[in-house]
Amino acid sequence: MDGSNRKNIEVGFEVEIVQKHHQRTGELTDGIVKRILTKSPNHPHGIKVLLETGEVGRVKKIVPEN
């Protein structure tokens, strides 16, 4: 699912993000959304979220539920 639309992301979702210091490499970090930080309905580089682990980044992928 598309991580650039806020409506697609909810607290508790499992996502893969790119942290700011990994933007060049594109290294993904997975985790559970604790808080949605982007206020606008969409963002071309992905919605910024806070993970339960305290990491912050832009959503690149929403992991589907099994």
**Which CATH number do you get for residue 24?**
2.30.30
Q: Which residue has the higher pLDDT, 64 or 15?
A: 15
Q: How many domains is the chain partitioned into structurally?
A: 1
Q: Is 12 within the bounds of a domain?
A: yes
How far apart are alpha carbons 53 and 24 in whole angstroms? 22
Residues ≥6 apart with Cβ < 8 Å to 26: 18
Question: Looking at residue 17, what is its pLDDT?
Answer: 98
Q: Is 28 within the bounds of a domain?
A: yes
Q: Is 33 within the bounds of a domain?
A: yes
Residue 65 binned pLDDT confidence (cut-offs 50, 70, 90):
confident
6-61 confidence digits (pLDDT tens): 999 999 999 999 999 999 999 999 999 999 999 999 999 999 999 999 999 999 99
Q: Is 18 within the bounds of a domain?
A: yes
Provide the domain limits for residue 58.
Answer: 6-62
* Cβ–Cβ < 8 Å for 55, 29: yes
Q: pTM to 2 decimals?
A: 0.93
Q: Is 1 within the bounds of a domain?
A: no
